[in-house]
Amino acid sequence: MSTAPRPSLFANHNFTLLFGGSTISAIGDQFTLVALPWLVLKLTGDPAALGLVLAAMALPRAAFMLIGGAVVDRMSPRRVLLGARAVNALLVSLLAVLVLAGAIGMGMVYALALGIGLSTAFAYPAGSAILPQLIPPQQLQPANALFMGMRQLSMIVGPAIAGLLISVGAHGGRGNGVTDASGLGLAFGIDAVSFLFSLGSLMLIRIHSDRHPKAPVGGVLANVASGIRNVWADLPLRAFILYAAVVSVFVGGPIQVGLPVLADTRLNLGAASLGILMTANGGGMLLGSALSGVATRLVRGRLGLMVLGIDSLAGLALATLALVHSTFAGAVLLACTGMLAGIAQIAIVSWIQRRVAPEMMGRTMSVLMFTFMGLGPLSAAIAGSLLKAISLPELFVGAGLMLTAIALGCMGNPALRSIGAAKPDITLAS
């Protein structure tokens, strides 16, 4: 049997272009993720206004995610991603100009946030669908691990640089009373410039669907329905999507709402504690993405059981947050859960990308993303309401133990157990 070494991913010119452009853009994104909340607080001093801005981005993203997936499958994912990122670049550039000119107001912030959310509804499924057209199936897992590692590193490095830039560039407002206007405008400007690198790399990439486009069949809404039917017809994939929806409800809300409350009420460093907890989780996910390939080989096709086992442990870790009273203990706990999540996420996404036909990839990935991004805000709203009636420890314990019970109970489900068992024959409907 031949044991020739596998070619490096970076020997693939198209992959190198995509990875390089996405890396620079991901770092630039962190500047806006830091600068936008800071801008809202400087304009209003009201955390509720910040929540509305975040909702203005999240709701159109969730609402149009399935349509975005259908559009990706009707066109080249490269062209859809190119268009979506061009729109983002324009919106962030406008934000930078308005802040530097002292002409920004909350009405414009809401409008730009809405536009950014809408464009990302098309960018996310396009970004997931383009990779399987660039590399062979056996390289998907290491490629996904590289992209996840890159995103986690950008989340560690980018916010620190952005915060320093905003602080150093603080020179007061220009007619509208916004402090730190120069630093904020520069942060948005850097993100806008980073998009140019991504756009340049996408212009140079060529993929199969560019040269051999598939003729659209039916309307966009009909394509959305077809994508949902194909996911539903694939029993293991359907089982995982439904299971992921449950996990999103029991983990997403308690984490998004519970961690800031934990840092504010029980930890000793306040906002810095929250930053440390999130950094620890991101670092754990970075390590998990590197270990995912090894873990997948060790379980020998029992990917479903591995995911369920990881989630049962994650539920216990979530319940253990009820006992945390120090930043260090919380960081260690979240680093461990992040590592397990990184292992599972890379393995599952790679399994889906190998399993699904290329012409259905955009719709399938949009259904998966909708499961998390659509239910996440709903779960957070429920968790926030529950905290008015129950304590924070009760929220963590209840959600964590429920997740563990569900994961253990699902280990007897044949469809979930069969995930990763064998490479299937793809017989999806068109």
10 Å Cβ neighbour count for 204?
11
Virtual torsion, Cα 140, 311, 224, 366, nearest 10 deg: -50
What is the chain's Cα-based Rg?
22
| Residues 262/392, Cβ–Cβ less than 8 Å | yes
Residue 75 has, within 13 A of its CA and on its CB side, a CA count of 19
List the pLDDT tens digit at each of the 430 positions of the chain: 444 556 678 888 888 898 888 888 888 888 887 778 778 777 877 656 766 777 778 788 877 888 888 888 777 888 888 999 999 999 999 999 988 888 888 889 889 989 998 898 888 888 878 888 888 878 877 888 788 778 777 877 776 677 777 767 654 444 455 666 778 888 899 999 999 998 998 889 877 666 655 655 667 777 778 778 888 888 888 888 888 888 887 777 777 777 777 877 788 776 567 667 777 887 888 888 788 878 888 877 788 888 899 889 988 988 898 888 888 888 899 888 888 888 888 888 888 878 887 777 777 877 787 777 767 666 766 777 777 788 888 888 988 898 899 889 888 888 888 787 554 444 434 3
- pLDDT at residue 209, as a whole number: 62
Look up residue 91 and give its two tokens: 């919106």
**Model's pTM, two decimal places?**
0.67
Segments making up each domain of the chain, as ranges = 13-206, 220-423
Secondary structure percentages of the chain, helix, strand, coil, to 5: 80, 0, 20
Q: How many CB atoms lie within 10 A of CB 405?
A: 13
Q: Nearest to residue 429, comparing CAs of 215, 207, 233?
A: 233
- Residue 358's CB: how many other CB atoms inside 10 A? 17
**How big is the CA angle at 419 (ends 411 and 146), to the nearest 5 degrees?**
115
User: Yes or no: is domain 220-423 CATH 1.20.1250.20?
Assistant: yes
- Please report the DSSP string for 243-264 in residue order: HHHHHIIIIIHHHHHHHHHHHH
Return the amino acid letter for 382. I
What's the DSSP call for residue 387? T
Same fold, 13-206 and 220-423: yes
* Of residues 83, 111, 59, 96, the one with CA closest to residue 191: 96
d(CA 374, CA 311): 20
**Topology classification of domain 13-206:** Growth Hormone; Chain: A; (1.20.1250)
Residue 126 in tokens: 């396009």
